[in-house]
Chains A and B, each alone.
Chain A
Amino acid sequence: MVEESIRAGQEPAAVSEVMTPAGALKALADGAVGAITVAGTAKEVSAHLAALAGATANGSIASIAITDDKPLKVSKEDFRVHAKAYAQVLELITARPLQLTFH
């Protein structure tokens, strides 16, 4: 597992498995490279959407799958301020159709 490799002091390896949003973000923070596939519930993705948007800008996220049929919750203010980054991360979400709620 990537997390275990990192803890063991090994060189960060390219990641290919599907990770939770929190896991993906941690792996990236630990220096993982490569395009990570993320999957999580709408609640999980919503909770890390801003960070995922930042990671997406670096090309580190390959796709994001929503594992339930709930809408994503998005901060209006964050969306307004970081519209371009949000556009990029939302582009990676594979849910069809994608539903958003704003707060």
Chain B
Amino acid sequence: MFDAGKLSKITNTNFAGGIIDINFSQLTPYKAMLDKIDDGSGNNSYNLNVKDVTAAAATLTGANSHVQTMTVTDIGSSVGGRLAELDALQDGGQLTAIKLTDASNIINITSDAYDASSTKALTILNHTDAKPSGDYKLALSAMSITNAADSTYAANTDDHVVTYTASAEGADIVTNLADLEDATKLQVINRTDGGLDGTENAMALTGAQYADQVTTLNKIQTNGVAGYHAVVSELAADDIARALQDRNVDTFDVSDTAENLGKNILDLQAAQTDSNAQMTAVAQSDAGDIALSITDYTTAVDVRGDKMAAMTWNVSDVATTDLSAVLNDDAVSLVGVKDTAAAIQDTTMLGSTGSEGLIDDPVLSAKIDSITISDNAVLELTGAQYTSNVTAGGGTGLLDKISNANGDVYHANLTDLDAAHIAVATADPSVDHFAVLDVGSELTTNLSDLMAASAGDKLTAVAVGAQDGSPTDDVTIEIAKADFLNADEGAGYVTADYADLISKTTGDFQVKLTA
């Protein structure tokens, strides 16, 4: 065993260039012996290369005038805690290597420490044969929000940095939101201006930011607690439901197209009636009516009457029983009716004489955009209902808007059709069959149409009488004798054709054969 007490001197014969390797653990035990080194001139001169110095002891070791170089060996947390000291030693040339004993563990340092050390201690941190650029992992804290948002910033490109946190005021977070969305290493953003309870300086977010920067917004903490306060402007209607559930959002106003407002009308209604009263306003970003089903129209009564009061509506699937109320809503521009054939043919819908129907009012009628027969059944209409509501008959045009739910044209049977509209009904593909009621003079006037209809398969019967049912003497149908008695089958109608018509004719009537 070495006994320093018996050794009087060690002469260092190559002080100028020689260096003594020593482990850090040997430095103190060997101090007495090292004090006996003499350079031949009576000076205690020698140079040491101290290996495996702990991070905590590095600065003190470096202060030893004999220590020319050293290496540090320690766990990552210790290295991180002394990084500034190690930077100085590296920068001064004494520290030549830092070896980690726990390379798999993450070293936590501040962003400032990272910036300072990136050209110093970190350049010599745990370089191994397997990882010549250094085998270590860093987690940075308190990074500036601009650095975090800068994809070219060192921490964003350095593979050693696995995560980091940033700190900023709300406004700066908002400014950098889009770029922060790409900062995949960013774990937490600490808001610094939220006040003691975090409610101050609510961040002003656009609806687009709120929708698109979800990942970043979810990283925000205020006073160490996840969350923030924000006021969202021009929120998309699709995001209303999320905002209603999001306690980070103090208030929001909505701005969107008619299509999207309509699609999200139930969320708008929910926001209108929500006790937190987050929604402050609703704006439509384009022109046109907002399309709603009758169910949604009814449900959304509150928001329609308040924040959407200036908007106009296109209401579909309206049953005839609801039609009056919907049509008389000044905010409703268009109405799509959907009901059974029986309901649609009701007199309150189509009128019975052209002046009694609910939508004989031209203003209200004009609002009817379409009428769908939900059961695809055949309409049973009076002639008056038909003629007063079909454009070709000079009516409101309401019947022209009818179609079956299966996409087919509607089908109708007509009773008591007046003779003047026989041609219209004959040409109308929606009319399956019709029966005529009119006085003799009208039947005479429209005899050619009547004969054409009789030759077809639509005319089922002809009654001679007044349209209003009153007694009449006008019961004579005048037919040219030459036509009526025509036996030439190659020339127009023959007697058999007239006989066929007469067989369909009822009532007390006469045929007068004229010259």
Hey, which chain B residues are within 8 Å of A90, CB to CB? 481, 484-485, 513
A-B contact pairs, 13 of them (CB 8 A): A76-B503, A80-B503, A83-B494, A84-B494, A84-B495, A86-B495, A87-B485, A97-B514, A98-B481, A98-B513, A99-B512, A100-B510, A102-B509
Give residues 81-103 of A contacting B (CB, 8 Å). 83-84, 86-88, 90-91, 96-102
* B513 and A99 contacting across the interface, CB-CB below 8 Å: yes
Contact yes or no, B510 A91, CB < 8 A:
no
| A99 in contact with B503 given A71-B510, A84-B487 (CB within 8 Å) | no
- Is residue B499 within 8 Å, beta carbon to beta carbon, of the partner chain? yes
Report how far A99 CA is from B476 CA in the complex, Å: 9
Number of interface residues of A (CB under 8 A): 19
Q: Mark B22-60, 1 if CB is under 8 A from A, else 0.
A: 000000000000000000000000000000000000000
Q: In the complex, which residues of chain A have a beta carbon less than 8 angstroms from the beta carbon of B485?
A: 87-88, 90-91
B495 touches A96 (CB 8 A): no
Q: Among B499, B505, B513, which residue has its beta carbon within 8 angstroms of that of A83?
A: B499
Q: Does A77 lie at the interface of the complex (its beta carbon under 8 Å from any beta carbon of B)?
A: yes
Among residues of B, the one whose C-beta sits closest to the C-beta of A96 is B515
Could you tell me if A84 and B496 are in contact, using CB atoms closer than 8 angstroms?
Answer: yes
**Closest approach, in angstroms, between the C-beta of A74 and any C-beta of chain B?**
8
Chain A contacts of B500 at CB under 8 A?
80
Chain A residues in 8 Å Cβ range of B476? 99
Query: Contacts A76-B503, A80-B499, A87-B495 known; A100 to B514 CB distance under 8 Å?
Result: no
Decide yes or no: A100 and B496 within 8 Å by CB, A76-B503, A77-B503 being known contacts: no
Task: Assess the B510–A83 pair: CB atoms within 8 A.
Answer: no
Q: Is B241 an interface residue (CB 8 A)?
A: no
- The answer, among A80, A88, A100, for a CB contact under 8 Å with B511, is A100
CB distance from B364 to the nearest CB of A (A): 46
Q: With the chains together, A76 CA to B507 CA distance in Å?
A: 12
Cross-chain contact B496 with A83 (CB below 8 angstroms):
yes
Are A79 and B499 within 8 A (Cβ)?
A: yes
Q: Which B residue's beta carbon lies closest to that of A93?
A: B513
Return the chain A residue nearest B501 by Cβ: A80
Q: Apart from A80-B503, A87-B485, A97-B512, what 13 extra A-B contacts exist at CB < 8 Å? A: A80-B500, A83-B498, A84-B495, A87-B487, A87-B495, A97-B481, A98-B481, A100-B510, A100-B511, A100-B512, A101-B509, A101-B510, A102-B502
Query: Which residues of the other chain, A, contact B12 by a CB distance below 8 angstroms?
Result: none
| Contact call B495/A83, Cβ cutoff below 8 A | yes
Q: Which residue on chain A has the smallest CB distance to residue B477?
A: A100
- Compute how far the CA of A82 lies from the CA of B494 in the bound complex, rounded to whole angstroms: 12
Q: What separation, in Å, do the CA atoms of A77 and B500 have in the docked complex?
A: 9
Is the CB–CB distance between A99 and B510 below 8 Å?
yes
Q: How far is the CB of A22 from chain B (nearest CB, A)?
A: 24
Q: Report the Cα distance A71→B509, complex, angstroms.
A: 11
Q: A97-B513, A101-B509 are in contact. Are A80 and B487 (CB under 8 A)?
A: no
Q: Is B486 an interface position by the 8 A CB rule?
A: yes
Q: Which of A71, A84, A88 has the most CB of B within 10 A?
A: A84
Q: Are A76 and B502 in contact (CB under 8 A)?
A: yes
- Kindly report which residue of chain B lies nearest to residue A85, judged by CB atoms: B495
Query: Chain B residue with minimal CB distance to A88?
Result: B487
Q: Which of A56-89 contact B (CB under 8 A)?
A: 71, 76-77, 79-80, 83-84, 86-88
Q: Are A102 and B487 in contact (CB under 8 A)?
A: no
The answer to whether A97 touches B487 (Cβ under 8 A) is no
Q: Please, which residues of chain B bring their CB within 8 A of the CB of A71? A: 510
* Given A80-B499, A84-B487, A96-B515, residue A102 in contact with residue B505 (CB < 8 A): yes
Of the candidates B476, B485, B502, B514, the one having the most CB atoms from chain A within 10 angstroms of its own CB is B485
Q: When chains A and B are docked, how far (Å) is the Cα of A83 from the Cα of B484?
A: 10
Interface residues of A in 18-47 (CB under 8 A from B): none
Residue ID in chain B nearest A103 by CB atoms: B508
CA distance A96 to B512 in the complex (A): 10
Q: In the bound complex, what is the Cα–Cα distance between A75 and B263 (angstroms)?
A: 67
Please, how many angstroms separate the alpha-carbon atoms of A83 and B501 in the complex?
Answer: 12
Complex Cα–Cα for A87 and B514 (A): 14
In the complex, what residue of chain B is closest to A95 when comparing beta carbons? B513
Report how far A80 CA is from B476 CA in the complex, Å.
19
Chain B residues closer than 8 Å to A86, beta-carbon distance: 495, 499
For A84, list chain B residues within 8 Å (CB).
Answer: 487, 494-496
Q: Roughly how many angstroms separate A80 CA and B494 CA in the complex, as a whole number?
A: 11
7 closest residue pairs by CB, A with B: A87-B495, A83-B496, A83-B499, A80-B499, A100-B511, A87-B485, A83-B495
Name the B residues within 8 Å of A96 (CB-CB). 515
B502 and A97: CB pair below 8 A? no
CA distance A97 to B444 in the complex (A): 15
Distance in Å: Cβ of B430 to nearest Cβ of chain A: 30
Shortest distance in angstroms between A53's beta carbon and chain B's nearest beta carbon? 11
A86 to B487, CA, bound (A): 10
> Do residues A99 and B511 form an inter-chain contact, with CB atoms below 8 A?
yes
Which residues of the other chain, B, contact A98 by a CB distance below 8 angstroms?
481, 512-513
In the docked arrangement, what's the CA distance between A60 and B49, Å? 155
Residues of A within 8 A of B499 (CB): 76, 79-80, 83, 86
| Cα of A85 to Cα of B430 in the assembled complex, Å | 38
Residues of B within 8 A of A101 (CB): 508-511
Q: What is the CB-to-nearest-CB distance from A49 to chain B, in angstroms, rounded to a whole number?
A: 14
Cα–Cα, bound, A98→B476 (Å): 12
Question: In the assembled complex, which residues on chain B have CB atoms less than 8 Å from the CB atom of A99?
Answer: 476, 510-513
Q: A87-B495, A96-B515 in contact; A80/B510 too (CB < 8 A)?
A: no
